[in-house]
Amino acid sequence: MGDVGDEQAGESGGPADPRVALMQEVAAQMDAIEADFGDGFEIGAIVTIVEVRRPDGASVRVRCNAPPWVGLGMLQVAENVLEAQV
């Protein structure tokens, strides 16, 4: 799930809460995990990569709940998965 709409407008017609896009993406990932693995699993290491856009430019935010070497290994696997989708 890459696109959640063009900056989905909030209920009042103003800009949307930026947390909504991130929460929707995480919920979609959890749904996909449950569909693929059923009920017999636990979540291990997690790496999140988020592009943060502002009027003055964009940056990338990375977080990992595991030691750096585990996160780096997961990023290498993720790179291979994304390359296979091209």
| 1-6 contacts at long range (C-beta below 8 A, 24 or more positions apart) | 1/25, 1/28, 1/29
The pLDDT confidence band at residue 14, using thresholds 50, 70 and 90, is: low
Domain spans in the chain, listed from the N-terminal domain onward = 1-43, 45-86
The lowest-confidence range among 10-14, 55-59, 62-66, 80-84 is 10-14
Q: Give every CB contact of residue 13 below 8 A, 6+ residues apart in sequence.
A: none
Report yes or no on whether pTM surpasses 0.75. no
